Structure 1
């Protein structure tokens, strides 16, 4: 495991301390969790962008054309009736 020294403004450090106590975790665990969430957001964005580059409007329209043109079941209708 790697050790990392970071500099935080006092106000941010105090907020992290308070929030980690509320979450019943150490400051270290709190920060690791925050970094993990941020990384997941970036990795998800990158994954979706890569998948979007593989998209084909032609294939999408062909798949959409296979969907039956029927009214949705009552449980699937939107509250405004559409």
Structure 2
């Protein structure tokens, strides 16, 4: 039972470290200008029927 606990703890730590490394690698490849251009386009499309906000 203690071995299983240790295995789970190690697996969770490895998963967290891999996730952190993944996001660091993605951030290193990021291009701020491309991101800002994408944000400029957000919300400019036509509304899809059924996707409206409910009345307040």
Q: TM-score, normalised by structure 1?
A: 0.52
Judging by fraction of residues, say which structure has more helix: 2
How many residue pairs end up in the alignment?
A: 47
Structure 2 residues not aligned, in runs of 5+: 45-51
The answer to which structure, 1 or 2, has the higher relative contact order (CA under 8 A, 6+ apart) is 1
Q: Note the aligned Cα RMSD (angstroms).
A: 1.5
Which is higher, the Rg of structure 1 or of structure 2?
1
Q: TM-score, normalised by structure 2?
A: 0.74
Once superposed, which parts of structure 1, at least 4 consecutive aligned residues long, lie more than 2 Å away?
none
Structure 1 residues not aligned, in runs of 5+: 1-25, 75-82
